[in-house]
């Protein structure tokens, strides 16, 4: 009886100790770490035209780059204080989980599995995408339904590989995957004719075609979109204040577009009596301080990066990609910002 009581006591003590240990753990402070080093570390794609591409001097531009810079403007007051870390599809999640980067903005699809199995949280969607197929004009194919028996270049370890198998199985077609890990190698394989088709997110296919200049005219994007691929910013779970900052940095750009505020005309809105404008620009409410920022956090984003339309026009429009479902909800698209109030 005594031994049973002793064992029960030790068990309860162990539970209490582990509970105390869990409660006593300090919450992560990603914002504090970023401010201490004076720089945001952001994982991006490797040489993705329109999304993340360095020039000859190493200066990055692209839609995902603007996502990172908006957060830096909010947290550090300077959109240029970003270290861009090129990451492959195989190492991107490890880089985020290990703390090598503070966030990802690199054409990464929001899925249930990634949130519940990897300990990550998707804070925003800056590009609503879908998986497509690209072929050469010389193949004479007009539809993905004509690819029965084709060889298809695909990257391993991605939702793309799974979607490809599902699509051919659902349509009772056969295909042979040509699985290549590195983006440049897979594109060269497609150009050289090792595969009949190349499948990826439609945005990535358009980015690749644009990067080929005049030669890109020989490539055709087929009309079928076979999946939903919401792409956006990703952070580690647990630091929810940091999550809020990343999420609302995106919503600030969308809200600015909704209100007609741009990097060029923002000064004309500073004295506006519109309550929505006042809250966005920090003239009323204390929303910035509630996130651990100051109240003109959104002003810095708009001045230094612009609104969501400016970012799209600067980075995606030159690729010839229509905005479509990435437009504001008021224009038939899916971009919709919850109210700042």
CA distances from 68 to 121, 161, 226, 293 (A): 16, 27, 29, 16
Question: Residue 340 belongs to what H/E stretch?
Answer: none
Residue 26: what pLDDT? 63
The parent domain of residue 239 ranges over 30-129+231-322
Q: Give the per-residue pLDDT at 133.
A: 97
Q: How many whole angstroms separate alpha carbon 224 and alpha carbon 168?
A: 13
The predicted pLDDT at position 25 comes to 53
pTM of the model: 0.84
Q: Are residues 246 and 158 in the same domain?
A: no
81 CB-contact burial (10 Å; exposed 0-12 / middle 13-18 / buried 19+)? middle
Is position 93 within any domain? yes
Q: In what order do the strands lie in the sheet with 82-86?
A: 82-86, 40-44, 103-104, 234-236, 120-122
Residues 218, 139: one domain? yes
Query: Is 83:236 a contact under the CB 8 Å cutoff?
Result: no
Assess if residue 101 is contained within a domain. yes
pLDDT of res. 158:
78
Residue from 252, 244, 242, 230 nearest 311 by CA = 252
pLDDT along the chain (341 residues), means of 10: 45 43 65 98 93 94 98 98 93 96 95 95 96 95 96 88 94 96 90 95 90 91 93 97 98 98 98 97 94 96 98 94 94 97 93
Q: What are the structure tokens assigned to 187, written together? A: 């594109």
pLDDT tens-digit map of 56-91: 999 999 999 999 999 999 999 999 999 999 998 889
CATH number at residue 304: 3.40.190.10
| Same-domain check for residues 189 and 257 | no
Question: Could you give the CA distance from residue 68 to residue 71 in angstroms, rounded to a whole number?
Answer: 5
Residue 257 lies in a domain: yes
Q: How far is CA 176 from the centre of its chain?
A: 30
The per-residue pLDDT for 37 is 97
Does residue 245 sit in the same domain as residue 281?
yes
pLDDT at 47: 86
| Domain match, 44 and 99 both | yes
Question: How many domains is the chain partitioned into structurally?
Answer: 2
Two tokens, residue 208: 């690749």
CA distance 105 to 311: 14
- Verify that 235 and 224 share a domain, yes or no: no
For residue 329, the tally of other CB atoms under 10 A from its CB is: 12
Query: What tens digit of pLDDT does each residue of 167-202 get?
Result: 999 999 999 999 998 888 999 999 999 999 999 999
Say what the pLDDT of residue 183 is.
Answer: 81
Q: State the DSSP H helix or E strand holding residue 234, giving kind and residue range, or none if neither.
A: strand 234-236
**149: helix, coil or strand?**
coil
Query: Is position 329 within any domain?
Result: no
Q: Which of 228, 245, 273 is the last residue of a domain?
A: 228
Which of 80, 70, 135 has its CA nearest to residue 103?
70
The pLDDT score that the predictor gives to residue 28 is 87
Do residues 131 and 160 touch, judged by C-beta distance below 8 A? Answer: yes
Q: Are 70 and 301 in contact (CB under 8 A)?
A: yes
What pLDDT shows up at residue 66?
98
User: Residue 181: its pLDDT value, please?
Assistant: 85
3-state secondary structure at position 153: strand
Same domain for 71 and 140, yes or no, is no
Produce one character per residue of 196-232: b if its CB has 16 or more CB atoms within 10 Å, e if not.
bbbbbbbbbbbbbbbbeeeeeeebbebebbbbebbbb
Upper half-sphere CA count for residue 238 (Cβ side, 13 Å): 15
Q: Which two tokens stand for residue 181?
A: 């890990």
On whether both 192 and 306 belong to a single domain, the answer is no
């Amino acid at each position: 009886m005594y031994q049973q009581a002793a064992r029960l006591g030790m068990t309860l003590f162990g539970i209490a100790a582990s509970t105390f240990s869990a409660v006593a753990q300090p919450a992560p402070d990603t914002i504090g770490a970023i401010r201490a080093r004076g720089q945001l570390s952001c994982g991006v794609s490797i040489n993705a035209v329109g999304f993340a591409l360095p020039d000859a001097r190493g200066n990055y531009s692209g839609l995902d780059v603007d996502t990172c810079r908006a957060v830096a403007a909010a947290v550090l007051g300077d959109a240029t204080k970003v270290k861009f870390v090129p990451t492959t599809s195989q190492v991107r999640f490890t880089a985020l989980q290990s703390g090598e980067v503070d966030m990802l903005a690199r054409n990464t699809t929001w899925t249930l599995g990634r949130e519940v199995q990897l300990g990550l949280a998707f804070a925003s969607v800056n590009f609503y995408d879908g998986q497509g197929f690209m072929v050469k004009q010389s193949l004479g194919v007009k539809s993905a339904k004509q690819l029965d028996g084709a060889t298809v270049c695909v990257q391993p370890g991605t939702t793309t590989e799974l979607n490809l198998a599902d699509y051919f199985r659902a349509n009772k077609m056969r295909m042979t995957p040509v699985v290549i890990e590195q983006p440049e190698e897979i594109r060269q394989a497609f150009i050289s004719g090792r595969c009949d088709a190349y499948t990826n997110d439609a945005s990535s296919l358009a980015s690749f075609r644009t990067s080929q200049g005049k030669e890109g005219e020989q490539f055709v994007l087929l009309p079928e979109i076979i999946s939903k691929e919401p792409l956006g910013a990703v952070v580690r779970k647990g630091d929810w204040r940091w999550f809020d900052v990343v999420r609302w940095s995106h919503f600030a750009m969308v809200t600015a577009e909704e209100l007609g505020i741009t990097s060029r005309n923002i000064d004309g809105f500073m004295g506006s009596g519109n309550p929505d404008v006042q809250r966005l620009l920090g003239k009323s409410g204390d929303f910035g301080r509630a996130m651990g920022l100051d109240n003109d956090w959104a002003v810095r984003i708009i001045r230094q990066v612009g609104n969501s339309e400016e970012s799209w026009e600067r980075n995606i429009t030159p690729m010839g990609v229509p905005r479509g479902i990435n437009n504001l909800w008021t224009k038939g698209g899916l971009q919709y910002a919850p109210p700042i109030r």
